[in-house]
Amino acid sequence: MKAWVLHNIDDLRLSEVKLPVLSRGEVLVRVKCAGICSSDVQRVFVSGAYHYPIILGHEFSGIVEKAYSDAEASWIGKRVGVYPLLPKFANEGYRTDGYETSSDYGYLGSRQDGGFAEYVAVPVWNLIEIPEKIGFEEAAMLEPTSVAFHAVRQIDFTHVRNVAVIGNGTIGHLIAQWLSIYGVPKITLVGRQDVLPEEVDVCFEVVGSVEGLERCITATKPNGQIVVVGNPPADFHLEQKIYWQILRKQLVVRGTWNSRFPDDWRKVLDAVGGGRLFLSDFITHRFGFFDLAAAFEMVKRKEEQHLKILIHI
């Protein structure tokens, strides 16, 4: 099969590789659509991957074409979205609650081969069937949409009327849409340098920068809430006077990580299928499979404003 293989930083090549060998509990998914995440761009051009060679891509959808055994055969022919986190279930409690917080896990597209390929081996536990009225593009966006939903679920909505979101990329826009669905009256979505309201009930930091966190702390009113979403590329430190504000304003600071499967994903499907969330609105660019490198270069050179970039395979 053909796949885009990362061999080192800034060394992404279209290659002919062997089909994945299925293990017990796995099926072979033919990828139909995959999304480029900012973390993919970071791995290709800046930080690199956990190991090489590797096939990136953790936002993808497709059709199940083959099963390891009869036990998984009922999935053959089904249209699916794929949850990329592979919990090891070392602690049985993770089966029902909090497995996304486990430190013992695999991950399609970062720790093992993912969706920038014609085929991917996926455990059936990680599959969610998508109804016919939802297309492969929307299904490829289930992962970032569920991440945004999981972030929004971290807050207590009691008396929340004014929310700011710092970070106007895909996740920031999706968080703003979820807040709207939840009925928040005032939502302010800003970029890195845009002006924030003076006081908000809740602030989401989606950039992953010390400046973004400082702005959240300063803008959030006493007894307010902060949700930290952005993944920082390096260490950073808070000034003492900023840290004091957390104490003196008695702020609640919550982290959020990934999404919970299948609960978050089913609620996303319900929102999309019910016409409350229109994921196609966030797609700004579409590329063919053979043009994936060009899509990465476009992002690297910052040639065009973009939200979600999708690859059709």
Whether residue 90 is predicted with pLDDT greater than 60 in this model: the reply is no
What DSSP line would sit under 87-128, residue for residue? E--SSGGGGTTTGGG-SSEEEBTTTB--SSBSEEEEEGGGEE
Residues 154-182: what's their mean pLDDT? 97
Contact 68, 23 (CB under 8 A): yes
Using one digit for the tens of pLDDT, what is the confidence trace for 252-286? Answer: 999 999 999 999 999 999 999 999 999 999 999 99
**Letter for the amino acid at 147?**
V
Whether residue 244 is predicted with pLDDT greater than 70 in this model: the reply is yes
Average of per-residue pLDDT values in the chain:
94
The pLDDT confidence band at residue 88, using thresholds 50, 70 and 90, is: confident
Q: How far is CA 265 from the centre of its chain?
A: 12
Using one digit for the tens of pLDDT, what is the confidence trace for 2-42? Answer: 999 999 999 999 999 999 999 999 999 999 999 999 999 99
pLDDT given at position 96 = 52
Using one digit for the tens of pLDDT, what is the confidence trace for 95-145? Answer: 555 667 777 789 999 999 999 999 999 999 999 999 999 999 999 999 999
Distance (Å, whole) CA 284 – CA 303: 13
Distance (Å, whole) CA 210 – CA 124: 39
Query: Where do we find the tokens 């720790």?
Result: 111
Q: Residue 61, SS3?
A: strand
Whether residue 60 is predicted with pLDDT greater than 70 in this model: the reply is yes
Distance (Å, whole) CA 193 – CA 238: 18
Burial class (CB in 10 A: 0-12, 13-18, 19+), 89: middle
Given the DSSP bridges, would you call strands 127-129 and 119-123 parallel, antiparallel or unpaired?
unpaired
Distance (Å, whole) CA 205 – CA 151: 10
DSSP H helices in the chain: 38-45, 136-140, 142-152, 170-181, 210-219, 240-248, 263-273, 292-301
Distance (Å, whole) CA 32 – CA 198: 45
Residues 71-85: what's their mean pLDDT? 97
pLDDT given at position 97 = 58
Distance (Å, whole) CA 159 – CA 109: 40
DSSP class of residue 70 equals G
Whether residue 301 is predicted with pLDDT greater than 60 in this model: the reply is yes
pLDDT given at position 195 = 83
Reported pTM: 0.95
pLDDT given at position 140 = 98
pLDDT given at position 292 = 98
Contact 277, 268 (CB under 8 A): yes
pLDDT given at position 297 = 96
Using one digit for the tens of pLDDT, what is the confidence trace for 188-227? Answer: 999 977 888 889 999 999 999 999 999 999 999 999 999 9
Q: State in Å, rounded, how far the first CA of the chain is from the last one.
A: 12
